[in-house]
Amino acid sequence: MIMYLKKVPNEQLWGSNAYGYHACVTPTHRYIAPIESDHYMTVRSNGGLNQMRTGICDMIAVARLVNATLVIPQLDKRSFWQDTSTFKDIFNEPGFIKALEGDVHIVSDLPESLQSAPRARKHFTSWSGASYYEDVKELWKDHKKLVERLKSRGKFIALHLRYEKDMLAFTGCTYGLSKSEADELRIMREKTSHWKLKDINSTEQRSGGNCPLTPHEVGMFLRAMGYTKSTWIYIAAGEIYGGDKYISKLRSYFPNLEVLATKEELQKFKNHASQVAALDYIISVESDVFIPSHSGNMARAVEGHRRFLGHRKTLTPDRTLTHPGYTRINWTHLTASWILLDATTGRGLVELFGLLEKGELMEGPKLSSLVTKMHKYRQGAPRKRYASLPGSKGRARLRTEESFYENPFPECICLTGKH
């Protein structure tokens, strides 16, 4: 049976509305340029690309506050990633220094005379409200040929499909997998010493909104939102778990899943996961629509960057309850063919997909109507950053507050005519 969906206007699919809000980082007349400093701050940044990037941004703010000369950060080479990439392999080092010259003094290396000097050491927690956002410039020129290749085909979606083996093992998300696959992920989690949580209930994880959408669910979601079979999609992710077994379900909805570069072009990135992540980041920022199938460091950083660049369309699937600031839809199942909508609190896509699985809802106009209404206010439009949850204190208060890197409004976003 063929399902005919109502044609959605292109402006609704691809357009974004900043409502007159724009990036604003021009210093006020009270801002003072950095004073020459005779002490230096060295930084070792660890984790994946976006963890390192966020840490570097925090350290820029710290260097400014303590009036220190910042030495170009050293990147993590010893952790899970085993990546030998240096700062200049990923970031535009001259541009980085130039962009910050009015804020922080930066040098490429520590002076030879200070190499063996005693240092005060401090482990920093990556959490900052500093109002500097336009800081790190990714390698753009080297890969601009790749982004233009995508744009030459017309508008495209960058899909951050978090369906990699390590992601599923870490979160304990095994919905839709075979028993042998679930066991493989469990064993990987048990053997990974720095993952502290070992015993995870997959059903609770999924119902709690802690699991990425499956490739099949992403396909259903995009189709319900009105994207047609001809839509070009770039997958910004590592190797998809299960390979074609699962990605084929997404491809059945959208055959134009883009392989951005040739094997020869990608060869130079072998064993350089951070550089591949940087490439994914650039394309995600530059895409016409960005869609993360799961929240995480990269998804939050890309969303914040896109907000800063004019609130480019970022479509965030509603997997379940997340933050009280979001508009929600409550699903109350009355009969096999009727669902009551109430825009207050609710479950999101996970419950809808459950109804589809049980045959109580079918793909088609009804599903499309429900999904589009659910995501009316989840498309990257301007909004102030969420505060911490009521009643939270100390570090818990900070952790429940929305990250500045996810949403730089109000510090770095202004309404037209206001600064």
SS3 content of the chain, % helix, strand, coil (to 5): 35, 10, 55
Domain with CATH 3.40.50 in the chain: 141-311
Q: Is 69 helix (H, G, I), strand (E, B) or coil?
A: strand
Tell me the pLDDT tens digit for each residue of 194-230: 888 899 999 999 888 889 999 999 999 999 999 999 9
- Compute the distance between CA of residue 406 and CA of residue 328 in angstroms, rounded to an integer: 20
With contact defined as beta carbons under 8 Å apart, do 201 and 307 qualify?
no
The letter for the amino acid at 336 is A
Residue 396 confidence (pLDDT)? 72
Residue range 88-114: mean pLDDT, rounded? 88
Give 144's pLDDT tier (boundaries 50, 70, 90).
low
Residue 417 confidence (pLDDT)? 59
Q: Which of 122-136, 224-238, 247-261, 316-330 has the lowest mean pLDDT?
A: 122-136
- Compute the distance between CA of residue 349 and CA of residue 217 in angstroms, rounded to an integer: 9
Tell me the pLDDT tens digit for each residue of 307-346: 999 999 999 999 864 433 333 333 333 232 233 333 333 3
The residue assigned the tokens 């292109």 is 10
Residue 304 confidence (pLDDT)? 93
Q: Please provide the average confidence, as pLDDT, over all residues in the chain.
A: 79
Residue range 78-105: mean pLDDT, rounded? 82
Residue range 176-203: mean pLDDT, rounded? 92
For domain 141-311, the question of CATH label 3.40.50 is answered with yes
Give 139's pLDDT tier (boundaries 50, 70, 90).
very low
- Compute the distance between CA of residue 368 and CA of residue 305 in angstroms, rounded to an integer: 29
> CA angle 255-304-266, nearest 5°?
45
Residue 131 confidence (pLDDT)? 34
